[in-house]
Amino acid sequence: MKLLLLLFLLAISFLSLSPVKVQKVFDVHIHGSSAVAEQLKTLERSGVYKAALSSSWDLQNSYRENPPIKLLYGLMLPCPNGKVPYSLQQCYENGQVWPSVAWVEEQIKDGKIDFLGEILTQYHGILPSDSLMNPYYAIAEKYNLPVGVHTGGAGPDHGCPDFKLEFGNPVLLEKLILKFPKLKLWIMHSGDRFYKETTRLMSKYVTLYADISVISNPDILAPDQFAGIMKEFIDAGLEDRLMFGSDNGDIRKSISAVNELSFLSDKQKEKIFHLNAEHFFSR
Give residue 178's identity as a one-letter amino acid code.
L
23 — pLDDT class (breaks 50, 70, 90): confident
Q: What are the start-end ranges of the E strands in the chain?
A: 25-31, 48-54, 70-77, 115-119, 146-150, 184-188, 209-211, 242-243
How distant, in Å, are the alpha carbons of 90, 235, 258, 260, 262 from that of 224?
A: 38, 16, 12, 11, 12
Cα three-residue angle 119-161-115, rounded to 5 degrees = 10
pTM for the whole thing?
0.92
> Which tens digits make up the pLDDT trace of 126-172?
999 999 999 999 999 999 999 999 999 999 999 999 999 999 999 99
pLDDT for the residue numbered 6: 43
> Which tens digits make up the pLDDT trace of 43-88?
999 999 999 999 999 999 999 999 999 999 999 999 999 999 999 9
